[in-house]
Structure 1
């Protein structure tokens, strides 16, 4: 970072676009350098979108998103915030702009031994609707901006597909459509990806 900052300070960029990018990068690096000197990760700095874009090429390890996982007892699964250690982890995560998920390793181990039809009842008896592992997966997907796609059939909204009764009926009603590569996939879309081989 120090070498990059020195280079940016000596730069004599002429065009305004390059100058603006270099200024955003310099500003971001100065902010990050200060927190790194204080022993904090780079992600604890609040940066503007241009600053984030300007330093992305550096791939700073401490800019990577983090989720802290707190292990709690089975009796604390329904209300983990009462645990003072979970409170400490949540405060630390908040200060470092990170996420927190609570999991009970004991409950997760017991869930693996139960038949799938009994797992829901067991979780209900504990006062929760989803396992800690499920919460962790959901938080990870959210943090990374990921989505899961199950593809089958042609492009049609799921509700339209179900209401029509079949793909042929949806086609007859004009509910099928083609979308380009810029289309943002919506929840419940049923899609067929076409490509040339």
Structure 2
């Protein structure tokens, strides 16, 4: 037996015409209403935002990036966006003691700046 997914016409977000002009605010509201948050990873070559459902654990978030990171998960190094901005970057936030070491069950927060440590 074959199972097919079906599309619906159910509205995700209802907006007024004027709200369509500020697409950034509309996107932020839509993601919030859909119960999504984002976290960031950063490195020498790129900084990237990843979408996850609110309540996602650090271990599950690691799997969004790559299953190997999830399987070898050791810990997540977390800096809040607020601390990152107040301190002027990742290295200064670390020097100020704003980086936290979190385990698998840590519930990711919106805009966490994250480095996953894992075994290969």
TM category (shorter chain) comes to 0.3 to 0.5
More contact order relative to length (CA 8 Å, sep ≥ 6): 2
| Higher alpha-carbon Rg | 1
More helix by share: 1
